[in-house]
Amino acid sequence: MSTDTDETRQRLKAAVHYTVSRICQNNGESHRREFSRQVIAAIAETTFRQCDIFAKDLEAFARHAKRSTVSAEDVKLVARRSTALTNYIQNKSEELAQEQQLKKKSTGKRKSKDTEDDRE
């Protein structure tokens, strides 16, 4: 592996580590339990490797449907193993679809509203 891809990988790991530690700290605060630094590093590393598995699955699912672009449907397949997660992702995906429809409708209107606000 070249040094360039190595560096991006390190950066990605750092980004994952940062978000993981924030989520853990947030959880720790609400339950008054601290996470040791090792745990946070271990969760980050696990998440990173889990991403590898997810990515390979997504790619395989997309190819199975003769697509080269991974879509929301493929993500739903990744989450198929637990019912709770499937429902959660299903809801999120519907929310996303609704938001996008709203955005399409309101972009024109919002612009005119913004200019009105400026005048006030």
Partner 1 sequence: MAERDAEICFKKETVSKLLTSFFKEDKTKLSGDAALLMADVLKVFVQEASVRSQKQAESEDCDQVDIEHFEKILPQLLLDF
User: Interface with partner 1 by CB under 8 A: which residues?
Assistant: 5, 8-9, 12, 15-16, 19-20, 22-24, 26-28, 30-31, 33-36, 38-39, 42-43, 46-48, 50-52, 54-56, 58-59, 62-63, 68-72, 74-76, 78-79, 81-82, 85, 88-89, 92-93, 96
Nearer to partner 1, 2 or 115 (CB): 2
Q: How far apart are CA 63 and CA 96, in angstroms?
A: 24
Smallest distance, partner 1 to C-beta of residue 3, A: 15
Q: How far apart are CA 4 and CA 95, in angstroms?
A: 38
Nearer to partner 1, 32 or 109 (CB): 32
Nearer to partner 1, 10 or 113 (CB): 10
Angstrom CA distances, 86 to 36, 75, 80, 82, stand at 31, 10, 6, 6
Q: Is 32 helix (H, G, I), strand (E, B) or coil?
A: coil
Smallest distance, partner 1 to C-beta of residue 91, A: 10
* First vs last C-alpha separation in the chain: 58
Q: How far apart are CA 18 and CA 99, in angstroms?
A: 28
Nearer to partner 1, 32 or 119 (CB): 32
